[in-house]
Amino acid sequence: MEPTERKRRHSGRTTLSDVALAAEVSPITASRALRGERGVAAELVERVKRAADQLGYVPDPAARALASQRSTQVPVLVPLLSNALFVDVLEAVHRTLLPHGYQPMIGVTHYEPQEEEQLLRSYLAHRPAGLLLTGFDRTEAARQMVAASGVPCVYLMELTQAPNVYCVGFSQTDAGHAITEHLVQRGRQRIAFVAAQLDPRTLQRAEGYRRCLREHGLYDARLELLSP
């Protein structure tokens, strides 16, 4: 087994050596290429950057620190602070982490996958102790970064049956179905669905609403008012 392979298996993190190996260059060349230094052939720079993207590599500013050094920061990425729901979530996270010596770092994505990807790239560079992310809707590059980082991650607000994925939340689709079923059982037949923002969780609740009304033969698309 090569030393690079042993190191990666031990830490679970994609290293510069992994990138260099994939790009078939030396670690020094890979480092210089990623830093944008002059004197590195354009073809090599492209090859190194492509390998880094494919592996989800995040530069490690703490690489020279002692191996025993441990971050206490836990980034928490939420869509908006104007939504009281997420303010309550952040308050609970703060209350839970601080007594255990961890510090939450708040990031706001504004429901923009590219903005979340940028935040993740920045936070993961500091080797956080963990991650708390809202939902499962994100770019492929962001997914690869999280997977390659080796940082423990918990997903909020949604559930999945995927193996080895930690999540805390509930089925948004089942919730939409349940609240609609409640109204149907109370004799209501013309039930409207009014929604704004149209983030993935809102659309999942809409699907539960539609499923319930179709089961009862009551669905009418004219009763939906959806606005981004």
Q: How high is the pLDDT of residue 6?
A: 44
pTM listed for this prediction = 0.67
CATH number given to 3-55: 1.10.260.40
Same fold, 73-169 and 172-227: yes
- pLDDT bracket for residue 101 (50, 70, 90): confident
Among the four given CATH numbers 3.30.70.1400, 3.90.110.10, 3.40.50.2000, 3.40.50.2300, the one describing domain 172-227:
3.40.50.2300
Find the range with the poorest average confidence among 37-51, 141-155, 175-189, 201-215. 37-51
Q: Enumerate the domain spans of the chain.
A: 3-55, 73-169, 172-227
6-33 confidence digits (pLDDT tens): 444 455 678 888 999 999 999 889 888 8
Mean pLDDT of 39-43: 88
Question: According to the model, what pLDDT value does residue 9 have?
Answer: 47
Are the beta carbons of 169 and 156 closer than 8 angstroms? yes
The domain made up of 73-169 is a member of CATH 3.90.950.20:
no
Q: What is the pLDDT of residue 13?
A: 78
pLDDT given at position 68: 38
Per-residue pLDDT at 169 = 93
